[in-house]
Amino acid sequence: MALKKVEIKRGIFPDLKPQPAQELSSQREFNFFAKPRWKKLTEYEKLLVYAQPNPDWIPGGLDWGDWPQRFPGGRDVWGNYFTELRCQDWYAFRDPAKRWQFVYVSEKGDEWRVLRRRMAAYAELELWRSINPWWRNEIISTIWGAFLHHEYGVFNTLSSVTRDALSDVIRAAVSTAAFDKLDNAQMIQMEKLLLAKLMPEGFNPDIEHAKQFWLTSTLYAPALNLVEEVWSEVPDHCEILFAMFMIHDPLYGVFVRNEFMERTCGIFGDTLTHLFLPDMDRAFRVARDWNFDLFHNILGSDPEFGTYNRKMMQVWLDRWLSKTCEAMRAFAGIYDLRETKIALENAPLEKIAPRVQRLIERWHETYIRPLGLKTDIDLLKSLVGV
């Protein structure tokens, strides 16, 4: 089911009623300096709208002309060519989770405190002894450890977006989403370090051998190429967001984290990975919701530029979807490994093919269909080839 669209209050400034004749001291209604998304202005909106200068060609921007300094090569600090998408009001966007710096840090602190208690109980119960040695050494240490570099790569693709975003509310959402990806990478390495402490002679937590697997393995080669291409060759910050959060992570990221790791680890006696995945899933859902607001509610439904924006999104969809499907097809080779086949033969787990087909259908229903974009679902299933 697609996420719910919301009514957008376009325009930077609120539609204020005419001032009454009575003195201001007798008034009982607030006057806002920005249009609230919800019933009244939230702390999130008070602190982010107009918090920093933006280019003066954006309605409501506080900058008074171009800055004197420029990037190497003469690029402006801001320019209306930073993205192909257009919008009447970049400030109309809101993160449904209402995350700003204090809220984000507080939430992450809570997650890590809970995770620390989980790990202490895990170690005391010696649950690590039940992990299948092959799964522990080949999957957790190497293959799951290599996925760390995928998440770190996505984090780096967002570095330029946080600079080029055309409003502070978008910048805050991108920044927290980027740190979520960095947090995912740190959690994977923390899982490895915990196992190394529990098994000082029997587990390799070194990051280098997992990095080499990420750089050289055919399981990750298409994903590596995709992340590198987005990172180094895409100048449009909205295209980066669309490629990562509207296509790649909802398909490839969910395939690796959930369809493989989350559903399979218990069969090999691994209950440790389950301690980390809920926080990764939380980050995924937050990014899903704010990208829906940005691309569906704001850019795709813009009264003036919505049709044009959707045409550009169709171009980006055609450009990046096949590459994501190629990455999924390559990683699906993990199900051809002898140990995986033996373990899954008699396991009470649904086959991977129908699960991936449903993943593609859910993605299409949630992300693509509400925008009216076109893609061949049957062709996608054949491209993934599971």
pLDDT, tens only, 226-272: 999 999 999 999 999 999 999 999 999 999 999 999 999 999 999 99
pLDDT of residue 71: 56
Q: Are 295 and 250 in contact (CB under 8 A)?
A: no
A 10 A CB-CB count for 205 gives 19
Question: Amino acid identity of 344?
Answer: L
The mean per-residue pLDDT over the stretch 148-171 comes to 92
Handedness of CA 279, 284, 285, 290 (dihedral sign): positive
pLDDT at 30 over 80: no
Whether 25 has a pLDDT exceeding 50, the answer reads yes
Q: Does residue 201 register a pLDDT over 50?
A: yes
pLDDT over 70 for what percent of the chain? 84
Interior angle at CA 342, CA 259 and CA 335, nearest 5 = 35
Domain boundaries of the chain, sorted by first residue = 90-384
8 A C-beta contact, residue 132 and residue 265 = no
Cα–Cα distance for residue pair 183/189, rounded to 1 Å: 10
Q: Quote the pLDDT of residue 64.
A: 43
* pLDDT confidence tier of residue 190, bands split at 50, 70 and 90: very high
The set of residues, in sequence order, having a beta carbon less than 8 Å from that of 207 and lying 6+ positions away, is 145, 148, 189
Task: Give buried/exposed letters for 5-17 (b at 16+ CB in 10 A, else e).
Answer: eeebebebeeeee
Any idea which of 18-22, 38-42, 211-215, 368-372 has the lowest mean pLDDT? Answer: 18-22
Q: What are phi and psi of 362, to 5 degrees?
A: -65, -40
Q: Which residues contact 53 (CB under 8 A, 6 or more apart)?
A: 61, 62, 63
pLDDT at residue number 34: 74
CA dist., res. 84 & res. 238, Å (int): 8
Give the per-residue pLDDT at 65: 46
Site of tokens 């293959």: 143
* 312 vs 350, more confident: 312
Q: What angle do CA 336, 337, 341 make, to 5 degrees?
A: 75
Provide the pLDDT confidence category of residue 60 given band limits of 50, 70 and 90. Answer: very low
Q: Measured between alpha carbons, how far is 78 from 166 in angstroms, rounded to an integer?
A: 8
- Summarize the confidence of residues 96-110 as an average pLDDT: 92
Look at 273 and 91; give whichever has higher pLDDT. Answer: 273
How much is the pLDDT for 57? 53
pLDDT at 143: 95
335-382 pLDDT, tens digit each:
998 888 888 887 777 888 899 999 999 999 999 999 999 999 988 888
Q: Does 62 score more than 50 pLDDT?
A: no
* Over residues 88-114, mean pLDDT: 91
Average pLDDT over every residue of 179-204: 91
* For residue 61, pLDDT beyond 80: no
User: Residue 269: how many CB atoms within 10 A of its CB?
Assistant: 16
* Stretch 57-70: mean pLDDT: 50
Q: What is the pLDDT of residues 320-329, one digit of tens each?
A: 999 999 999 9
Task: For 88-117, give the DSSP string.
Answer: S-GGG---TT---HHHHHHHHHHHHHHHHH
pLDDT recorded at residue 54: 55
* Mean pLDDT taken over the chain: 86
Which pLDDT band holds residue 8 (cuts at 50, 70, 90)? confident
pLDDT higher than 60, residue 316? yes
The residue type at 94: R
Residue 12 confidence (pLDDT):
62
What is the second-level CATH architecture of the domain 90-384?
Answer: Orthogonal Bundle (1.10)
Residue 386 has pLDDT above 80, yes or no: no
Q: Is 60 left (phi over 0), alpha (psi -120 to 50) or beta?
A: left
In whole angstroms, give the CA distance from residue 332 to residue 334: 5
Average pLDDT of the segment spanning 87-109: 90
